[in-house]
Chain A
Amino acid sequence: MSIFSLLFKSNKPKQETKTLQQLLDMLKQSSDFANVQIQTGNYHVSIFYFDSLVDPKLLQQQVLCHLQQELPKYTSFSIENLQQIIPIQRIEVTQDVATIETKLLKGFAMIRFADIPDCCALVNLASENLGLRQNNESENEFSVVGPKVGFVENIGTNLHLLRRQIVTPNLIFRELTLGTVSRTKIVIAYIEGVVNEQTLETVLQRVSEIEFDIVFDASLLDQLLADNSSSPFPPFVSTERVDKAIYALVEGQVAIFADGSPYVITGPSTLFDFFTSPEDYYLPWILGSFFRMIRMFGVMFSVLASPIYVAVLTYHYEMIPKDLLGPIIFSRSNVPFPPILEVLFLEITIELLREAGARLPTKVAQTLGIVGGIVIGQASVEAALTSNILLIIVALGALASFTTPIYKMSNTIRFIRFPIILFAGFWGGLGIAFAICLLLIHLGKLQSFGNPYLVPLYPFRAKDFADSLIRSPYQMTVKRPSYLRPRLLWRYNPKKAKQKKDIDE
C-alpha cells in the first residue's frame, strides 16, 4: 500500500496558481471555447464561454441584447452593477482564477470589461436540459398503483421533485463536488430533526473522503460508500422512484443524489428494505402483507429450489415421496449427466437468456425470450440433456427471482444460487445447511453506514417487525423504526389520527 501511495504522489500534477491569461490560453485550445467582443458606447466588453455548454438563446436574449441596449445609457459603469442590466440570477464577480475555471467548465459565461481586465463577472447560462430526456416515468421499478414519476438524469429536476412533496424547511440539501475529472454535483438530502446525527456524520464523512475521477452513476457511489465492498449484497437501496426516496427520508434515512444519475441512494438500509415495494403501501395492509410474503417466499424458492433438487437426487433419495419417485426417475432415466451438471447446464442457459435479453433491443428481446424459453427448454428435454421436472424448477426459480423490486438485489439472488448449488452437489443437504450458515454469518456481519444489515432479526428488535415481514396497518407504523435511532420517534400525532369526526356533532 505504501509503495502505491508513493507512486501516486509522484505522478500527481503540480498545482500551480495560474494567471487569468494562462487559463484563457489553455482553454482557447478547444475549438468550442468562444470569445465574443462587443463595442457599445465607451465600453469594450469581451465574453468568454463554452459553446457546447451554454444555451445560445439565453446568451442572445438575456446577455448580448441587454448589454448592447443598456450599456450605452450609462456614463460610468462598474462591473458590480452588471446584475442591474442582465436579468439572470446570481451573477458573481470574482478575481479568483480557480473559481473562474470551474464555473466556465460548468456552463457559465465570463464577462470582462477591457478597462479592468482582472475582474470578471460570471453569468450562469448553462443549458440544464440539453441532451437529457424529458420523460420521467419510472421504467425499471414499475408499480401499477401509485404515482409513476421517477427521477431523471438532471439533479435539479430531482431535487425539485423532492421539495414538492416534503414541504418543510427541515429538508436540507448539502452539496458537494466529487470526481477529479467529472466534478459531479453530489447532493446529500436529509430531514433535520429526524435523521440521526451520527449517521449523518458518517455519511458526510464517507462522501467527502471519496477520491475518484468520473462519477458515472450513483451506483458507483454505492460501491465506494459500502462498508464491506467485497459483499455480493447491495449495501444501500438505490431507487428511481420518488415515493420510495421520500419514504426513506421520512423514516430518518439519508438520500444521496448524483448529477447525471436517475438513481438515488438511500441508507442505512436493511435486508428487508430490498423486498418492499411502494405498492405494498398503496394496497390494503392485508394484501400488501400477502404480496410481500409471496415475494419473500419467491426469494427463498429461487435460492433453494435447484440446490435442493441436486441434493435430494444425488444423496437423499429416501426423502422423495413415493408418488413422486416414479416421475422423477422416469424423467431422469435418459439423462447422461449427474444432477449437478444437469442443473448447472440449465441454470447457465437461463442466465444466458437473461443476459442476452437485457443487452438486446426491447423488440428483439421478446422474440429471444420465446425462442430461448420454449424452444431451447423443450429441445433440451427431448434431447435428454435435462429432465422435465428440473426444467420446471429452474424456470420457476428464475421467475421467482424477478419478484424482487430492487434490481441490484435480484442480481445478488441470481448470483448466490450458484455457490449453494456447488455445495449441494458436493455435500448434499449438509452442504446446503452449511452454505446457508455461511450466508447468515455474512449477513449478520454486514453493515450499512454502520447500521446492522439484518436488523429487526439480528440484533432482534421486536417492535420494528411492524413493517418488515408484513406491512402492518398504518396505526401500527406511527413510530419510525427504532434501529435508525431517529431524533423524533413519532411520524405524526397518533391521537389526532385516531379521532373519528362524526357528522352529527
Chain B
Amino acid sequence: MKRALYFILVVTFMLAGCKSSRIVDQVQIIHAMGYDWKKGKYVGTAIYPTFRQGPMTKPDILTTESSTTYDLIPRLSSKSALPIEEGQLRLVLFGKSFAKKGITEIVHSLARNNKVGMRLQLAVAKGDAERLLRITAETTLSDTLYLSNLIEQNIREMNLPNTNLHIFLYNYFGKGRDPFLPYLEKKGNFVKLEGLALFKDGNYVGRIDLRQSFLVKLLLDETKNGVYQIPISKNKKKGRVLLENLFATSQYSLRRGREPIIDIHLRIRASIRDYPTWLDLPNKKEFQLVRKQMEKHLNKDITALISLFQKKGVDPLGIGDFVRSHTRHWDEKSFYKGYRHLQIRPHVNVDIIQTGIGE
C-alpha cells in the first residue's frame, strides 16, 4: 500500500515535465485574427501586442497565405519568434469575400477550441479584414483591442444587439434561427460600425444598417439602451425626434390556424432626448400626437424590416424557433417554405417616461 503510494508520487512528479508550460511572457498572444479570400487563396492576419517598451503597448501584424484555412495559424508561427497562442483572442474578423464563401470551417474550429473564450467577438468587414486590422495597428489608434472594444461598447451603450461567439453558435446551430454579426467598414483612418451582416447557413447574404439593427435589438430580447430617430410632423411642419430607449420588452404570440399569424407586442419605455423647438411636449395633446406618430412609424419600420428578412429568407429573429416551441412536429423545411408569406404583425407601445428637464 505504502509502496504503491510512493510509486504514484514519484511517477506523477516525473511525468510533470511532460506538460508543456506556456509562460505568459514567452508566448505571442494574439488579440485579433482576420480571415480573407483573395485571388484564390486564404489570407490570415494576426494582430498582437508587444509589451517591451514600457507600459504602452505596440501592436504588430503578421500575415500569411495558404490554400486552406487550417494551416493559417501554423504558418503564422513560422514567421514568429515566440509560439503563437490564441488563448486571449478577442476578435475574429472576416473579409466580405470570405464571409460570402462561408465561415463554416472557422466556426467549427472555434466551437471546438478549448482555449478561446465564448465572449470572443466575431465581425464582418467590408472589403478586406487585413486592411481594417492594419488601420487599428498602424494609425493613431494603435490599439490591438480597438475593434473588440468598439463592438462591446456599442452593445453596451448603443444600437448593436448582443453578440459574441456563444450567441453566434447558438444561432448557427439552433434550428429555426440564423446568425448575424456586426458589420464594420473603413472610413478614412477610422473604422465605423455600419450595421449587421446577415448569414444563412454560414454564408453572408446581405446587411442592414445601424438604425435597423436597433429594431433587431428591440425584437430580440430585453434591452436598456439604443437611440432611434423618428420623423414627426404637425400642421405641415416637419422635424425629427430622437428617442432613447430606457427599457424595452418584446413578447411573441402565435395564433394557430391554416395561416398562422405571429403577433409581436413591443413595449418601449423611452425618453425623448431631442425634439424640434416648435413642438410643445408638456402639452398633453401634442404629447399624445408624438406618441401616436412614433408608434405608427416604428410599426412601419419593423414591418419593412421583417419583410426584408422574409424576402432574403433569413431568420435572425428566431421566429422559426419560436414557432417550433409552440408546435408539435415542427418541420424546418416546410416552415421555411412558407416563411416568405408568414404573417407577422408588430404592435408597438411607446411609453414616454421623460423628456428632459423643463416646465
**Residues of A in contact with B, size category:** 20 to 34
Q: Which residues from chain B contact A335 at a C-beta distance below 8 Å?
A: 25
Given A325-B88, A330-B54, the answer on whether A318 and B19 have CB atoms closer than 8 Å is no
Give the shortest distance, in Å, between A436 (CB) and chain B (any CB).
Answer: 16
Which of A249-257, A297-305, A309-317, A362-370 contacts the other chain? A309-317
Give the shortest distance, in Å, between B235 (CB) and chain A (any CB).
Answer: 54
Residue on B nearest A426 in the bound complex, by CB: B16
User: Cβ of B88 and Cβ of A328 under 8 Å apart?
Assistant: no
10 sample A-B contacts, Cβ–Cβ < 8 Å, listed by A number = A312-B24, A313-B24, A315-B21, A317-B24, A320-B24, A330-B54, A330-B55, A332-B25, A335-B25, A428-B21
User: Cβ of B23 and Cβ of A314 under 8 Å apart?
Assistant: yes
CA distance A318 to B22 in the complex (A): 10
CA distance A313 to B21 in the complex (A): 9
CA distance A428 to B22 in the complex (A): 11
**Residues of B in contact with A, size category:** 20 to 34
Residue on A nearest B19 in the bound complex, by CB: A427
User: Cβ of B51 and Cβ of A326 under 8 Å apart?
Assistant: yes
Q: Which residues from chain B contact A315 at a C-beta distance below 8 Å?
A: 19, 21-22
Q: Which residues from chain A contact B57 at a C-beta distance below 8 Å?
A: 326
Residues of chain B at the chain A interface (Cβ within 8 Å): 13, 16, 19, 21-25, 27, 29, 49, 51-52, 54-55, 57, 85, 87-88, 90, 115, 117, 145
Residue on B nearest A313 in the bound complex, by CB: B24
CA distance A314 to B24 in the complex (A): 6
**Residue A327 lies at the interface, judged by CB distance under 8 Å to chain B:** yes
Contact of B23 among A313, A318, A322 (CB under 8 A): A313
Contact of A317 among B16, B54, B85, B90 (CB under 8 A): B85
Contact of A326 among B21, B49, B90 (CB under 8 A): B49
CA distance A323 to B52 in the complex (A): 16
**Residue A339 lies at the interface, judged by CB distance under 8 Å to chain B:** yes
Give the shortest distance, in Å, between A379 (CB) and chain B (any CB).
Answer: 21
**Residue A374 lies at the interface, judged by CB distance under 8 Å to chain B:** no
User: Cβ of A320 and Cβ of B22 under 8 Å apart?
Assistant: no
Q: Which residues from chain A contact B88 at a C-beta distance below 8 Å?
A: 317-318, 320, 322, 325
CA distance A426 to B25 in the complex (A): 18
Give the shortest distance, in Å, between B264 (CB) and chain A (any CB).
Answer: 37
Q: Which residues from chain B contact A352 at a C-beta distance below 8 Å?
A: none
Besides A317-B22, A326-B57, 16 other A-B contacts (C-beta < 8 A): A312-B24, A313-B23, A314-B23, A315-B21, A317-B27, A317-B88, A320-B88, A325-B24, A325-B29, A326-B51, A328-B24, A329-B29, A330-B54, A338-B21, A426-B16, A428-B21
Give the shortest distance, in Å, between A230 (CB) and chain B (any CB).
Answer: 13
Q: Which residues from chain A contact B13 at a C-beta distance below 8 Å?
A: 426
**Residue A493 lies at the interface, judged by CB distance under 8 Å to chain B:** no
Residues of chain A at the chain B interface (Cβ within 8 Å): 312-315, 317-318, 320, 322, 325-330, 332-333, 335, 338-339, 426-428
Q: Which residues from chain A contact B49 at a C-beta distance below 8 Å?
A: 325-326
Q: Which residues from chain A contact B90 at a C-beta distance below 8 Å?
A: 322
Q: Which residues from chain A contact B21 at a C-beta distance below 8 Å?
A: 314-315, 338, 428
User: Cβ of B24 and Cβ of A327 under 8 Å apart?
Assistant: no
**For the complex, would chain B's binding face be called helix, strand, loop or mixed by DSSP majority?**
loop
Give the shortest distance, in Å, between A69 (CB) and chain B (any CB).
Answer: 74
Give the shortest distance, in Å, between B51 (CB) and chain A (any CB).
Answer: 4
User: Cβ of A329 and Cβ of B16 under 8 Å apart?
Assistant: no
Residue on A nearest B57 in the bound complex, by CB: A326
Residue on A nearest B26 in the bound complex, by CB: A338
User: Cβ of A326 and Cβ of B55 under 8 Å apart?
Assistant: yes
User: Cβ of B55 and Cβ of A327 under 8 Å apart?
Assistant: yes
CA distance A330 to B88 in the complex (A): 16
Q: Which residues from chain B contact A326 at a C-beta distance below 8 Å?
A: 49, 51, 55, 57
Give the shortest distance, in Å, between B11 (CB) and chain A (any CB).
Answer: 12
Residue on A nearest B117 in the bound complex, by CB: A318
CA distance A314 to B19 in the complex (A): 11
Q: Which residues from chain B contact A322 at a C-beta distance below 8 Å?
A: 88, 90, 145
User: Cβ of B115 and Cβ of A318 under 8 Å apart?
Assistant: yes
User: Cβ of B55 and Cβ of A314 under 8 Å apart?
Assistant: no
CA distance A319 to B294 in the complex (A): 46
Determine which residue in A318, A320, A328, A330 has the highest number of CB atoms from chain B within 10 A of its CB, and name it: A318
CA distance A70 to B24 in the complex (A): 92
User: Cβ of A330 and Cβ of B51 under 8 Å apart?
Assistant: yes
CA distance A327 to B16 in the complex (A): 29
Q: Which residues from chain A contact B145 at a C-beta distance below 8 Å?
A: 322
Q: Which residues from chain B contact A332 at a C-beta distance below 8 Å?
A: 24-25
CA distance A330 to B50 in the complex (A): 9
Q: Which residues from chain A contact B51 at a C-beta distance below 8 Å?
A: 326, 329-330, 333
CA distance A450 to B64 in the complex (A): 69
Q: Which residues from chain B contact A339 at a C-beta distance below 8 Å?
A: 23
Give the shortest distance, in Å, between A430 (CB) and chain B (any CB).
Answer: 9
Q: Which residues from chain B contact A428 at a C-beta distance below 8 Å?
A: 19, 21
Give the shortest distance, in Å, between B74 (CB) and chain A (any CB).
Answer: 19
Residue on A nearest B53 in the bound complex, by CB: A330
The 7 closest A-B CB pairs, nearest first, are: A318-B87, A426-B16, A329-B51, A317-B24, A330-B51, A332-B25, A314-B21
CA distance A314 to B295 in the complex (A): 57
Q: Which residues from chain B contact A328 at a C-beta distance below 8 Å?
A: 24
CA distance A315 to B24 in the complex (A): 8
CA distance A322 to B51 in the complex (A): 13
CA distance A332 to B22 in the complex (A): 14
CA distance A329 to B27 in the complex (A): 10
Give the shortest distance, in Å, between B14 (CB) and chain A (any CB).
Answer: 10
Given A318-B117, A322-B90, the answer on whether A333 and B52 have CB atoms closer than 8 Å is yes
CA distance A167 to B36 in the complex (A): 88
Give the shortest distance, in Å, between A222 (CB) and chain B (any CB).
Answer: 27
Residue on A nearest B20 in the bound complex, by CB: A315
Contact of B25 among A312, A318, A333, A427 (CB under 8 A): A333
CA distance A120 to B29 in the complex (A): 91
Give the shortest distance, in Å, between B173 (CB) and chain A (any CB).
Answer: 23
Give the shortest distance, in Å, between B195 (CB) and chain A (any CB).
Answer: 26
